[in-house]
Copies of this chain bind each other. A is one copy, B any other.
Amino acid sequence: MIINFSERAHNHNWDLDPIVRSLLDTDFYKLLMLQFIWKHFRDTRVTFSLNNRNHKFRLAEMIPREAVIAQLDHVKKLRYRKSEMIWLAGNTFYGTRGIFEPAFLEWLENDFALCDYHLAERDGQFELTFEGSWISVTMWEIYALSILNELKTRAALKGMSEFELDILYARAKTRLWGKIEQLRDVPGLAVADFGTRRRHSFLWQEFVVEAMHSELGAAFTGTSNTFLAYKHDMEAIGTNAHELPMALAAMATNDEELKASQYRILELWQQTYHGALRVMLPDTYGTTQFLQHAPDWVADWTGQRVDSKDPFIAGDEYINWLASRGKDPRTKLLIASDGLDVQTILSLHAYFSGTVAPGVSVRDFRSASDFLDTRKWHLDRRIRFSAGWGTLLTNDFRDCHPRSEGALEPISLVCKLTAANGYPSVKLSDNYEKASGPTELVEHYREVFGLAGISRIPIVV
């Protein structure tokens, strides 16, 4: 065995093993939203705040503060590389070339900068906030989340021997492969990686995404991670998120404007992208009220992403609503993205894409495991279903620790818009438990939007 002296010396002298390796290492929709914000809300000032919903993981006691600072500072120093800019300009996204305007790209390359961060500690948790112009704040969300999640991973790995680490990853790979085998050869399946923010680590997400890409073929529709899409010639996936309607709502000056803001943002979006990228996220203030009061043009949108409602119910609701607005649901897209794992993905796929043998209702798929046997149903779409698979794709290390420790469990860490131009922001969502914002304001929003179709579901990941 010849020793690689340079490698060994290098390994012992690392100042920093960076978590975010490129500014492209973010969800693609953040870039689409950044351009949108840059065009329409350049002067809007916002606050984003980190929140760990799992109080039992006392992150500030697990992760050294200095490590957080070092990683955040590293991201602040990153710049877009020339080859990355050329890719953003020249690549085709969702079949469209030139989705990013030259002026935006020029700004991104020369003037884009992340705002300062504010880091404090309270009750064993980090209080991490970002305040500034929306265009300088918004990109922090994904960087901050993937940094904290990977630092939590590193803390959990710290006490393990090389051998234990080997077993840990062997088990995680075995689990991943088991999932891939269940998804392989399922007719008409469409699955994308949505797991950047809560990933175990960058390198593990890369491994997972390459495995899915090589094994599932066309059924793997792409990754939300722009850097991985760029690095491995995959499709970059995603359109927009809650921060847009939330900011507009926060800045509304009366209840009428507040109620209208959820459609106003869609109007602005479709103008900006000339009718492309029309996947909506109707759950910010409740999907049922959103659809009920939506202007007719909303039914022209390509599809919707379901983020906080039971996706079986949300899909049926959307299908019925489309039919009531004279649209053919089979041409529309339904994306589920909340706490999915392989069983739910297969179940949803069968529910929305399959016809069962005579005598068996398609609804039986919801509880039965018949959907796993693709011979029991044949492809007959009610809507184009697609799974946005997040945490349980890129961070499923449950029970993989050789000493059965729980430190590798994924946690429900979020980094959300909390204010726009000084007004606190609110999200209600389809899940009562997921509402965020100051209590009184949440109550006010509930009066304005109502509680139709809102349920209580425990938050998974």
Contact = CB atoms under 8 A, between A and B. Distances in A.
Interface stretch (A166-174, A308-316, A339-347): A166-174
Given A4-B4, A4-B7, A170 B163 contact: no
User: Interface majority SS on A: helix, strand, loop or mixed?
Assistant: helix
Contacts of A439: none
Contacts of A324: none
Contacts of A167: 173-174, 177
Nearest to A169: B170
Interface string A172-214: 1110010000000000000000000000000000000011001
A124 B117 CA distance: 71
Nearest to A166: B173
A18 to B, nearest CB: 14
A177 to B, nearest CB: 5
Given A4-B4, A4-B7, A7-B4, A214 B177 contact: no
B7 A163 contact: no
A6 B4 CA distance: 9
Contact of A2 (B7, B161, B171, B214): B7
Contacts of A177: 167, 170-171, 402
Contacts of A4: 4, 7
A180 B283 CA distance: 48
B211 A163 contact: yes
A171 B7 CA distance: 30
Nearest to A161: B214
Contacts of A7: 2, 4
A124 to B, nearest CB: 32
A210 B163 contact: yes
Contacts of A173: 166-167, 170-171
Contacts of A161: 214
Contact of A6 (B2, B169, B210, B211): B2
A98 B11 CA distance: 45
A161 B177 CA distance: 15
20 contacts: A2-B6, A2-B7, A2-B10, A4-B4, A4-B7, A163-B210, A163-B214, A166-B173, A167-B173, A167-B174, A170-B171, A170-B172, A170-B173, A170-B174, A170-B177, A171-B173, A171-B174, A171-B177, A174-B174, A177-B402
